[in-house]
Amino acid sequence: MASVHKEFDIHATPEQVWDAVSDFGAVHERLGPGLVTDARLDADTRTVTFANGTVVVERLIDLDPVSRRIAYSIVGGSLHSSHHHASMQALPGKDGGTLVVWHTDVLPEALTVPIAEFVEQASAVMRRTLEAGGSQEPGGSELAP
Binned average pLDDT, 10 residues per bin, the chain of 145 residues: 94 96 96 96 97 95 98 95 97 96 96 94 96 57 44
Give me the pLDDT at residue 74, please. Answer: 96
Asked if 9 and 126 count as a contact pair (C-beta separation under 8 A), the reply is no
pLDDT for 138: 39
pLDDT at 25: 96
* Alpha-carbon gap, residue 123 to 51, rounded angstroms: 16
Q: Which of 115, 124, 105 is nearest to 143 (CA)?
A: 115
Nearest residue to 32 via CA among 125, 144, 131, 142: 125
pTM over 0.85: yes
Q: How far apart are CA 66 and CA 77, in angstroms?
A: 31
pLDDT confidence of residue 130? 95
Closest CA to 68 of 118, 20, 7, 9: 20
Q: What is the pLDDT of residue 133?
A: 81
Which pLDDT does position 1 carry in this prediction?
Answer: 67
pLDDT of residue 134: 58
Closest C-alpha to 41, from 30, 94, 52: 30
CA–CA gap between residue 45 and residue 24 (Å, rounded): 9
